[in-house]
Amino acid sequence: MKTKAPVAKNERLDVTIADLTYQGMGVAKVDDFPLFIENALPGEELTIQVTKVQSHYGFARAIAWKSESPDRVKDVDKTYRQTGIAPLQHLAYPAQLKFKQHQIAELFSKDHQDVDVAPTLGMENPTQYRNKAQVPVRMIKGQLETGFYRQHSHDLIPLTDFYIQDPAIDAAIVKVRDILRQFEIPAYNEISDKGVIRNIMVRRGYYSHEMMIVLISRTQKLPSQAQLVNQIHQALPEVTSIVLNVNAKKTNVIMGNVTRTLYGKPTIEDSLLGLTFAISARSFYQVNPQQTEKLYQMAIDKAGLTGEETVIDAYCGIGTISLALAKHAKHVYGVDVVSEAIEDAKVNAQKNHLSNVSFETNKAEFQMAKWQEDGIKPDVVVVNPPRKGLAESLIDSTAKMGPKKVVYVSCNPATLVRDVARFQELGYDIDGPIQPVDQFPQTPHVESVTVLVKK
């Protein structure tokens, strides 16, 4: 029997916000029916208008506040909320850190697991931290613009200050935008599938200040390519690499498979925990270098290495965690599905004079099964999966190898809870508190380090 929702579309109600969702929206309950409201904080009393009603929940918008949370930040730029760049900017930073700690604890308690979650490690300056930008380029009123899409749409909002990005990157995007305008290079039009420039990507080394500009194009060559490249590197002295990435498909995926270096070298260098890394256009490198050092140091400390251990790093990327672990282990095996990342990882091992590492290109779950068949017996397995978490087969292979410890670096608490439960079925238990690290201030995302030990 279908129960009728206690609210109707366009209805106006007075509510008190009870909680925040993992996406940072306020939650109010009407007869146990949850309504999700943007820009609303726990404890606030407000008048809302219902905008959408589903069978088990609804959405509403705030019309007027009767009381405000002491944690509300007043002078915020609504553009950052509309584009989803900084959905939590209206929440004071100490409260953001508490929200992230609570988010992990809450998900474990819903799964009937009593875990200890430590306070979130935050940043001194929780803005201007991103070392990489990927911004869409579109024509607006006949002029090429850079900015960000309004949430849930493909309407570009022109922006020059992205708030959470390194200001040098913001300035570089504006210079590249102006040069593209000067050469009258048309932006991509997704409706007609015509035009040239789709996106501009900029990476900047936090310590090295080396900068890479990636122009993502629908076409194999850019109009006025040589002059354009010359202008960019003259306008931006930090640029050591200009790369063309070709994406001719009608798709939402940002980058294509063809990458060509137009100026300088195909990588930039930066350092992390005293190691040097070459970073190419398509390889994964954490976007918040200051917090990454805290996160990885935490993972290394919790691995408790003495120099005698065999370690596996699943999802190794360009070798950032693997090489940091190799300084403290007997041998480290790394695997990643992106072949360019593995090429970079091998180069990075040589750069840092580390020979006790081996890297393989494969899906982590397949390679783990292969290593298990080959009789490799790791003492510690480190996993740092994407948001979808671990494949069940990877957890099974890990448990069969029987490492004393699994160090789980997670970027999604929901899949962490699911995966931990699977490890517990296979004889592993959480050791010590889970440590959240704020890699993405002003957003609801939270990274964490969890240690699992063999019973």
Q: Which residues are catalytic?
A: 411
* Residue 372 amino acid letter: Q
Residue among 382, 295, 290 at smallest CA distance from 336:
382
3-state helix, strand, coil in the chain (%, to 5): 25, 30, 40
DSSP state of 165: B
Contacts from 223-227 at CB under 8 Å and sequence distance 24+? 223/183, 223/184, 223/185, 223/196, 224/183, 224/185, 225/262, 227/183
| Tokens coding 88 | 């939590």
Separation of alpha carbons 173 and 101, rounded Å: 35
Which are the contacts of 334, defined by CB distance < 8 A and separation ≥ 6? 312, 313, 316, 319, 322, 342, 345, 357, 358, 359, 360
Q: Which residues of 63-74 are buried (b: 16+ CB within 10 A; e: fewer)?
A: eeeeeebebbee
Separation of alpha carbons 277 and 208, rounded Å: 10
DSSP for 376-402? ---SEEEE---TT---HHHHHHHHHH-
| DSSP β-ladder status, 380-383 and 405-410 | parallel
CA dihedral sign, ordered 367, 360, 260, 285: positive
Separation of alpha carbons 325 and 215, rounded Å: 34
DSSP state of 89: T
| Tokens coding 282 | 């398509």
Separation of alpha carbons 410 and 404, rounded Å: 19
Helix (H) or strand (E) holding 104: helix 93-110
